[in-house]
Structures are given as C-alpha cells and as structure tokens.
Amino acid sequence: MTKPELKEFLDSKVLQYNNSEFIESDPIQIPHQYKLKEDIEISGFLTSSIAWGNRKMIIKNANRMMELIGNSPYDFVMNHQEHDLDNFEGFVHRTFNSVDFKYFIKALKHIYTNHNGLENIFQSNSTKDSLQPSIHQLKKLFFEIPHPERTTKHVSDPFKGSASKRINMYLRWLVRNDNTGVDFGIWKNISPSQLSCPLDVHSGNVARKLGLLNRKQNGGKALAELDFNLRELDPLDPVKYDFALFGLGVFENF
C-alpha cells in the first residue's frame, strides 16, 4: 500500500473499532464505572497495571480490585488504614499479588498527598512530543517510599528500554478525547500528540505486516519507530491507530 492508501485503510479501522461497543470487551470498562476524576484516574491506573494476559481475566481481576477497595478508589487510597489492606490477602493476577496491590495503594496515597496527583506528574515531566520522560519520573516517585523490591517490576521504565505498554495505554485512556465515549480525555493539559502507542504482541505484529515497524523486539526502540510512523499519518492524534492495530490483530487475526 502507498502511504495515502495505508492511512485510508487504518482510518477506516479506527472508525470500525473506536466506538462504544469497544468498551464491552476491554479493560477500559473498569474506569467507566466512575464519574469522579480521581476515581477514574486511580481505577484506570490499577486496571492498566494488571492489563496483560487474557482480557476476560484482566476484567474479572480488575473488578475484584475495585470490590476490595469498596468501589471508591480515591476515598480508599486517601483514607485507608493499614488493617484495611488485610482484605487483599489472596488476591493475585499472574505475577501481581496482594503484596504488590498493598504497595500500589500506599504509593498512590503518596502520589496524591505529596505530588499533587497522577496528572501533575505526567504533565510536569513531559516534553513537547513525548510522555516517556514522565513515565520514567512516575516510576521514581512511585518507589521513593519504602517498598518491596519485587513490586518495582510492575511499573515499567522507558529509560531502561521498555515499551511501557500498560502505562501508554493508561495515558491514551486519560488524554484522548475523540467524542466516541471510549477514551476519557479528562487530562486537558496534555496533548494527544504527545502520546505513544501501547505496543504489544498484537499491535506489533500488525504494524510489521503493514510496514509501520521493522524492529523485531517490542521494546522502547520499536516504540519510537512506530510512534514516528504513526505521527506521519496523523501528527495530532497518532495513537488513535491503536484501535486499528489492536482490532486487526485481536478481532481479525490480521
């Protein structure tokens, strides 16, 4: 395909998948249960943090997380007592367990108490065309209080070569607003043009077949290559193509 043909094809796939029906089978349905800005931020962060593996299991376990924090994410984070975390015992999603979940709650309280919340961290540490420095800074601040060493692996760092798929997906949820009701667009001071595509097995394989990605490994360098090519297709909203790449891979076995 020529570049105009590729853009036309991908734009049509964005329209096909970027609509309210997408929510029904996607982990983004978890933050859609809430109206308060901070509830959306925190439920989205917790959900995206376990968003790898089987999607039905992700949704099931994310719903379980919400139950364990009383379906009031912000209130629980800010007002929980140590003994409230005892209820987390036995929670597990793949390698993310109750130890990690307990620390995430404590770290989020630290972020909202001492760093003016998640949005402020991402906004304050971004560059003109990237949020990857913000993800690096988030990890530093997230673990600046005493923490279990095992939990550090559950927050990625693009400065160490990670594609940071889960956090980039989370940022898409909070920053993009395309009026279809899928992504929230509640972080108004960050531009969609700064977003990076959530690069995973599905989107990576489709991107390679379409000539958008040459690198074989889905790391930080591959993400930079994919970002460059998607921004050529749409510099203002490059990550809308996540819907096309993901949809082609998951739903069409492209």
Could you read off the pLDDT of 93-139 as tens digits, one per residue?
Answer: 999 999 999 999 999 999 999 999 999 999 999 999 999 999 999 99
Beta carbons within 8 Å of 219's beta carbon, 6+ residues apart = 161, 162, 163
Q: Locate 194 and state its tokens.
A: 């700064």
pLDDT in tens, 54-65: 999 999 999 999
**pLDDT at residue 217 in the model:** 94
Helix (H, G, I), strand (E, B) or coil at 92: strand
Specify the amino acid at residue 112. Answer: Y
**pLDDT at residue 228 in the model:** 97
- Answer whether residue 11 shows pLDDT above 90: yes
**pLDDT at residue 178 in the model:** 86
Average of pLDDT values for 12-35?
Answer: 96
Q: How far apart are CA 104 and CA 151, in angstroms?
A: 9
Rounded to the nearest 10 degrees, the angle between the axes of helix 98-114 and helix 132-142 is: 100
The mean of the pLDDT values for the chain is 97
The pLDDT > 90 percentage for the chain reads 98
**pLDDT at residue 109 in the model:** 98
**pLDDT at residue 3 in the model:** 93
